[in-house]
Structure 1
């Protein structure tokens, strides 16, 4: 074996071709990048909910009315649950497309419903109008969604493989 032959098995980085190649260094993820990724996921959820609400609420309302619930659809509590269903379906479809776990989809969907339910007794007692119930439910939904995301924050950070 000549001196030239012994150098033929050496890579440019100085390691032997007989050894496994070293793993490339991972790009460090900054805190700012993590926050941006988390926030972008949150915005995507809001967009998917909005699309679901606009596309599916009329369909769910139509189906509900055809099944005999026409008078019920005008009630704010029933309407809020139909709206929550359309938002949860739109958002859930997007989350599954993004390969989020079923438990994450379930937790995020629960946030849609749980946001309205605490206000039902106030509405039924006549203390809160239907319009206020809908507004308050949507406002409460935002931190509940953030909480659901924080419970599984690794799914929403850079580098996570869905």
Structure 2
């Protein structure tokens, strides 16, 4: 697989995540008023929304369920790890959300590079 093709696949994942976030975000805002007042819950709901969008796109692209699950786990892991410092007051809700987003992108590369290398 060429670098350009790999980058295209990565971009597809990112776009599908944003589609999931923007499509499902309003549903949660309506269903759970005040969700945004709880940064930990809001971060996890957003990560799930993004995972749903990515999972749907990966399934359309004929990825296996195990690969989809692994990709979703790696994508949400930074948010899960950052919950502990948030709960202990070491970081703010804004930091939780910002750092989770920043770390999610390199985390997604882990399963993509592993699969790309054929391992």
User: TM-score scaled to structure 1, two decimals?
Assistant: 0.67
Number of paired residues?
118
Please name the residue that 1:102 is paired with: 65
Q: Which runs of 5+ in 2 are unaligned?
A: none
How far does residue 72 in structure 1 lie from its aligned partner after superposition? 5.1
Please name the residue that 1:52 is paired with: 20
CA contact (8 A) 1:119 1:133 kept: yes
How far does residue 62 in structure 1 lie from its aligned partner after superposition? 2.5
How far does residue 105 in structure 1 lie from its aligned partner after superposition? 0.8
Please name the residue that 1:29 is paired with: none
Separation in structure 2 between the aligned mates of residue 137 and residue 99 of structure 1, nearest angstrom: 28
Secondary structure of the corresponding residue to residue 2 of structure 2: helix
Q: Does 1:36 align with 2:36?
A: no
Structure that is richer in helix per residue: 2
CA contact (8 A) 2:29 2:35 kept: no
Query: Over aligned residue pairs, what C-alpha RMSD do you find?
Result: 1.7
Render the CA deviation track for 1:58-102: whole Å, top value 9, x for unaligned.
Answer: 213323x1xxxx455521110011000110001111111111111
Render the CA deviation track for 1:37-78: whole Å, top value 9, x for unaligned.
Answer: 111100010000011111112213323x1xxxx455521110
Instruction: Write out aligned runs for 1:3-152 (5 A).
Output: 34-63=2-31, 65=32, 70-71=33-34, 73-152=36-115
User: TM-score scaled to structure 2, two decimals?
Assistant: 0.90
